[in-house]
């Protein structure tokens, strides 16, 4: 899963000209999948592959292109908009499709004339969720987030004693996960401040974002059968950006003793494109651990995972306020971070999840947890950036934020770049905050 092949060759170019620009997210070496159709139509949904600023419509490509019979079988459900069927395939089949698409879109491909008509500009598409999400689990693998948030509540003892032994997570809700571009309604909820005698039910005043990545499960495991760490990456389909919106005033009142509930499940936004795990091979990096940290228990330990279980993926959070849009000003960058700061790798999260025999299924989504970096300006939430709401974040031009306001548009972005590799990106994950409903 981790190995480089000709599809990572940084010199390879596409016959789709826009894919050869230096700073784009979707060159020939990336080839992420989304589920889309021409905007404003009742077209059936189909799976598309990003190439430059275009998308290859696999419904059209399946019939217009020339493919081997094995690839034709893989394309058939994709033409019907079913990405879960590809997720359920073994890693070797998924890799074979990546290679076939790479060859078809490569400069000089004999497929060019046949596939030209299967391209559509991404700007003309509307997206659905990329796959049917059976179950959603949110982890807490960003240790810098865990420490900073822990300090707000327990200055002397920020990190709970289990953190460096067991990947912390909770079962979330799949029904309220929406695709990027879907507006988010400010939630109502029950909260009780330190000076309140009784709780009140009101619109959240501490609405926040969480910079996360979504890990999509590929082939699952049978109930009762764990996934060994050395096989875990074969069960990972790919990555999307994931904003786990959070109501910070609802959370502290409701979360004990059973964990997060309505402060989390009013909406979570996922980016439309899934960058396949194979595309990230040139950007793998070691697991970051302090020398005096405990060694993971044997079921979470594997040499390849320690050496290259991480991903060097740059992460960014942007805010575009209503006032900025009205004045024709651009967005403000709130933070930069990196996926390499995860305390547990993607493989460890997956292996831990299945370690008790819990059955994962193709299309399940695992949130990583908020991926803050070690520095204050690398924080992946406003809770951290504003130090619990005590210090407003300056946005320039007289604007500032402690938490999100109605009309704010929050966007996550991610990209990987390294010498000797072609830069790839994940696209954007955006959501606009709508005012709470009147009640
Ligand atoms: Mn979260």
Q: In this predicted model, what pLDDT tens digit does every residue of 233-254 receive, in sequence order? A: 999 999 999 999 999 999 999 9
Task: Report how far ligand 1's centroid is from the alpha carbon of 342 (Å).
Answer: 13
Looking at residue 2, its pLDDT comes to 62
Looking at residue 55, its pLDDT comes to 98
Looking at residue 291, its pLDDT comes to 92
* CA Rg value for the chain: 22
Q: How would residue 417 be classed by pLDDT, with cut points 50, 70 and 90? A: very high
Give the Å distances, CA to CA, from 127 to 27, 71, 345, 401. 20, 24, 29, 30
The CA distance from 14 to 120, in Å, is 15
Residues in the chain: 439
Tell me which residues are annotated as active site: 145
Is residue 157's pLDDT more than 60? yes
* Residues 6 or more apart whose Cβ sits within 8 Å of residue 256: none
- Which protein residues have a CB closer than 5 Å to ligand 1 (ion)? 138, 210, 244
Task: Report how far ligand 1's centroid is from the alpha carbon of 140 (Å).
Answer: 7
The CA distance from 367 to 167, in Å, is 12
Mean pLDDT of 206-223: 98
Looking at residue 132, its pLDDT comes to 98
List the structure tokens of 158.
């920020």
330-376 residue pLDDT tens: 999 999 999 999 999 999 999 999 999 999 999 999 999 999 999 99
* Residues 6 or more apart whose Cβ sits within 8 Å of residue 280: 239, 311, 313, 416, 424
Looking at residue 114, its pLDDT comes to 98
Looking at residue 153, its pLDDT comes to 79
Task: Report how far ligand 1's centroid is from the alpha carbon of 213 (Å).
Answer: 10
List the structure tokens of 310.
């991480």
Is residue 223's pLDDT more than 60? yes
Is residue 1's pLDDT more than 80? no
Task: Report how far ligand 1's centroid is from the alpha carbon of 371 (Å).
Answer: 9
Looking at residue 65, its pLDDT comes to 97
Q: What angle do CA 263, 265, 267 make, to 5 degrees?
A: 110
The CA distance from 248 to 209, in Å, is 10
Looking at residue 332, its pLDDT comes to 98
Task: Report how far ligand 1's centroid is from the alpha carbon of 175 (Å).
Answer: 16
Which is nearest to 368 in space by CA: 217, 209, 174, 169? 169
Mean pLDDT of 301-328: 97
Burial of 199 (0-12, 13-18, 19+ CB in 10 A): middle
Task: Report how far ligand 1's centroid is from the alpha carbon of 55 (Å).
Answer: 31
Mean pLDDT of 155-174: 95
Whether this prediction's pTM lies above 0.95 is answered by yes
The CA distance from 1 to 279, in Å, is 10
Mean pLDDT of 151-177: 94
43-63 residue pLDDT tens: 999 999 999 999 999 999 999
Is residue 102's pLDDT more than 80? yes
The CA distance from 81 to 75, in Å, is 10
Q: Where are the alpha helices (DSSP H) in 65-185?
A: 69-79, 84-87, 91-105, 112-115, 143-153
Q: How would residue 155 be classed by pLDDT, with cut points 50, 70 and 90? A: confident
Task: Report how far ligand 1's centroid is from the alpha carbon of 172 (Å).
Answer: 9
Looking at residue 154, its pLDDT comes to 83
Task: Report how far ligand 1's centroid is from the alpha carbon of 84 (Å).
Answer: 24
List the structure tokens of 194.
């330190």
Question: What's the mean per-residue pLDDT of the chain?
Answer: 97
25-40 residue pLDDT tens: 999 999 999 999 999 9
Q: How would residue 315 be classed by pLDDT, with cut points 50, 70 and 90? A: very high
Task: Report how far ligand 1's centroid is from the alpha carbon of 268 (Å).
Answer: 9
> Could you tell me the end-to-end alpha-carbon distance of the chain, in angstroms, rounded to an integer?
51
Task: Report how far ligand 1's centroid is from the alpha carbon of 212 (Å).
Answer: 7
What are the contacts of 381-384 at 24+ separation with CB within 8 A? 381/145, 381/149, 381/208, 381/209, 381/210, 381/211, 381/246, 382/208, 382/209, 382/334, 383/149, 383/152, 383/206, 383/208, 383/246, 383/248, 384/145, 384/148, 384/149
């Amino acid at each position: 899963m981790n190995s480089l092949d000709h599809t990572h060759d940084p010199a390879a170019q596409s016959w789709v000209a826009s894919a050869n620009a230096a700073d784009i997210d979707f060159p020939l070496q990336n080839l992420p999948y989304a589920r889309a159709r021409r905007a404003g139509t009742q077209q059936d949904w189909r799976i598309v592959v990003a190439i430059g600023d275009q998308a290859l419509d696999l419904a059209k490509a399946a019939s217009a292109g020339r493919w081997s019979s094995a690839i034709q079988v893989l394309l058939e459900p994709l033409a019907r908009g079913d990405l879960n069927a590809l997720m359920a395939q073994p890693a070797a089949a998924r890799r074979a499709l990546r290679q076939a698409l790479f060859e078809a879109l490569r400069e000089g491909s004999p497929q060019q004339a046949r596939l030209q008509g299967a391209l559509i500009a991404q700007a003309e598409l509307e997206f659905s969720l990329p796959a049917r999400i059976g179950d959603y689990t949110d982890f807490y693998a960003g240790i810098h987030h865990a420490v900073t948030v822990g300090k707000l509540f327990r200055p002397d003892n920020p990190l709970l004693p289990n953190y460096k032994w067991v990947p912390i997570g909770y079962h979330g809700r799949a029904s309220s996960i929406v695709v990027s571009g879907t507006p988010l309604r400010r939630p109502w909820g029950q909260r009780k401040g330190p000076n309140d005698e009784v709780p009140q039910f009101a619109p959240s005043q501490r609405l926040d974002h969480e910079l996360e990545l979504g890990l999509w499960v590929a082939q699952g495991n049978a109930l009762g059968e764990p996934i060994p760490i050395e096989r875990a990456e074969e069960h990972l389909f790919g990555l999307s950006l994931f904003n786990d919106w959070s109501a910070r005033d609802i959370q502290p009142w409701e979360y004990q003793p059973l964990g997060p509930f309505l402060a989390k499940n009013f909406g979570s936004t996922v980016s439309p494109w899934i960058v396949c795990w194979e595309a990230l091979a040139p950007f793998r990096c070691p697991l970051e651990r302090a020398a005096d940290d405990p060694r993971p228990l044997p079921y979470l330990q594997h040499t390849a995972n320690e050496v290259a279980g991480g991903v060097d993926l740059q992460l960014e959070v942007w805010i575009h306020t209503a006032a900025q849009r009205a004045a024709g000003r651009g967005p403000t960058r709130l933070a930069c971070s990196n996926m390499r700061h995860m305390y547990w790798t993607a493989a460890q999260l997956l292996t831990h999840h299945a370690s008790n025999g819990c059955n994962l299924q193709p299309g399940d989504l695992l949130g990583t947890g908020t991926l803050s970096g070690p520095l204050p300006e690398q924080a992946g939430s406003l809770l951290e950036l504003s130090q619990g709401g005590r210090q407003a974040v300056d946005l320039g031009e007289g604007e500032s934020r402690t938490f999100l306001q109605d009309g704010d548009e929050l966007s996550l972005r991610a990209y990987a770049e390294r010498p000797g590799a072609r830069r790839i990106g994940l696209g954007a994950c955006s959501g606009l905050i709508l005012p709470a409903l009147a009640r």
